[in-house]
Amino acid sequence: MWRVTACGLFLASLPLLPGTVERTAPEVDPYRLKGYPTYVRQCAPCHGEHGDGAGAGARFLQPPPRDFRRTPLKWASTDNGVASIDDIRRSVVEGVGGTAMLPFRHLGEAACNDLADVVAAFRARGTRESLTEAGLSGDDLERTVAARTVSGVRIAAPPVESLDAEAVARGYIAYHRRGCAACHGPDARGGDHETEVDGRRVRTRIPDLTSGLLRRSRAPDDLAARIRTGIPGTAMPATPMPDTELADLVRWLRERIPETTPNFSTPWSGTLPALRFDGVLPTSPDDPRFDAAPQTWLPLAPFDAFHHPTRGVRVAALASATHVVLRILVPDASRDPVDGGPPDGVAVRATPAPKPPVLPFPGQMPVLDRAVTYTGPMPRARDPIFDASGFENPEEVCRTIAPAARTGDSVYASGLWRHVIALRTEQSGTPLGPTPLSIAVAVFDGGARKGPLPTAFTAWMELVVAPEVR
């Protein structure tokens, strides 16, 4: 008897008759699933059309996009470390904080469910293919496929309501007794670490948990799952322990991790309010019309999770019949560029395309009107800093589709850039017309030494213009 999950992939964990072998359900073709066209548009730019993590933008991202076919899914909440369909769906809906994996909740519940089905189908197919290539067949193949694709029981954290000093102290003792400090450091601030993964020496950077920037949340269930199952495919091991000890360790971690954790799983409105204006275009960040407009904080997703100094930008938007003008406040510890280095700056994209992809896919780019402002000259097409980073053909990949142009002032003072940048809406539709306009912002940080690559970007935000004129 078969019982299947939301995407019809797995055999239920029913008792088996003596001598029988648990078998996975008949293979589902990911390319024929309802969600595959959405996957191609929204996910393939990073994860690849075949789910192998080899999308056009993959080489620019750290950590790299997941290869669904050949590597374990990292964010499991089950006792056997195999991600369930609900775990996959959650990653699609909420994103993965501190990485380039943005949340896709704006696509709607049905579309997110369909995308989770595609990912699960790629995982099932890739697991079977890799095991077959390794020489497994028959019952051995079926047992191993089932072990790697059939999720176990969801882990729930033991009660941790109490945060008294004694319980937290016991948690600190458990943190050291269980070897957590060997990688995460004595105070959970992380750092560089070298370990062996699948027979290879791998150097990784352990995140600073006290920064509050987590891949998942600080909820007790999430922390308990990370401890008990580890993170499959990484050096983070599963660490079984009694419930009482686990509860104390979770208590100590929750004390170390700020309650205001800036995670992309935290919902935001998905809209960018703007104030309508007439008259000359504002070019100075001190223009009083910007102060009259709503001030919106937009979280940033990094291209490189290990260089993520700017967690978000604050934007004030003004709109006329012909232009959208933004004042973008970017925290930055240093004023760049330095001699010979790449510039600081911002880029803004706008499109009337409904629910545009995070990264435009070659051949499927929606109509875009892009404006760029830099605080210094761009590096040469063949730039020694950029070339040394290992990317191929940077002059073909990273040139802007519109010439760099200063559309307003960029002023730096006291660790803050104040950029003014204007978009002409002739090609991307009018923000005051019937077609909604979506806007996204990218930030360039010369201190990251990434050449002409931005270091972080926002999700698409739909522009909403107030009717009054100022």
User: pLDDT by residue (tens digit) across 297-309?
Assistant: 888 888 887 777 7
250-268 pLDDT per residue, tens = 998 888 887 765 554 444 5
Mean pLDDT computed over 429-458? 74
Q: Which pLDDT band, with edges at 50, 70 and 90, does 271 fall under? A: confident
Residue 22 has pLDDT above 80, yes or no: no
CA 247 – CA 251 distance, rounded (Å): 6
Higher pLDDT, 145 or 158: 145
Predicted pLDDT of residue 380: 47
Residue 170 has pLDDT above 80, yes or no: yes
Mean pLDDT computed over 161-179? 85
243: left (phi over 0), alpha (psi -120 to 50) or beta: alpha
Predicted pLDDT of residue 313: 92
Enumerate residues 6+ apart whose C-beta is below 8 A from 353: 366, 367, 438
CA 194 – CA 238 distance, rounded (Å): 18
Predicted pLDDT of residue 342: 61
- Do the domains spanning 30-149 and 271-469 agree at the CATH topology level? no
Predicted pLDDT of residue 203: 65
Out of 29-43, 248-262, 445-459, give the one with best mean pLDDT.
29-43
Sequence length of the chain is 470
CA 46 – CA 300 distance, rounded (Å): 17
Predicted pLDDT of residue 401: 39
What is the CATH code for 165-256? 1.10.760.10
Does residue 67 contact residue 390 with C-beta atoms inside 8 Å?
no
Enumerate residues 6+ apart whose C-beta is below 8 A from 140: none
Predicted pLDDT of residue 225: 86
Does residue 264 contact residue 92 with C-beta atoms inside 8 Å?
no
Mean pLDDT computed over 129-140? 92
178-222 pLDDT per residue, tens = 988 888 888 888 877 666 655 556 667 787 888 777 787 788 888
CATH topology of domain 30-149: Cytochrome Bc1 Complex; Chain D, domain 2 (1.10.760)
Q: What is the pTM of this model?
A: 0.79
Range from 25-39, 284-298, 387-401 carrying the lowest mean pLDDT: 387-401
CA 139 – CA 134 distance, rounded (Å): 14
Predicted pLDDT of residue 5: 35
Mean pLDDT computed over 301-330? 86
Mean pLDDT computed over 413-432? 75
Q: Which pLDDT band, with edges at 50, 70 and 90, does 143 fall under? A: very high
Query: In the chain, what are the helix, strand and coil shares in percent, each to the nearest 5?
Result: 25, 20, 55
Give residue 10's Cα distance to chain centre. Answer: 28
E strand or H helix that includes residue 443: strand 438-444
Mean pLDDT computed over 102-110? 88
% of the chain with per-residue pLDDT over 70: 73
* Helix, coil or strand: residue 118: helix
Predicted pLDDT of residue 197: 54
Residue 340 has pLDDT above 80, yes or no: no
Predicted pLDDT of residue 61: 84
- For the chain, the structural domain boundaries read 30-149, 165-256, 271-469
CATH topology of domain 271-469: Immunoglobulin-like (2.60.40)
Residue 405 has pLDDT above 70, yes or no: no
Residue 113 has pLDDT above 80, yes or no: yes
Predicted pLDDT of residue 281: 87
Mean pLDDT of the chain: 77
Residue 201 buriedness (CB in 10 A; 0-12 / 13-18 / 19+): exposed
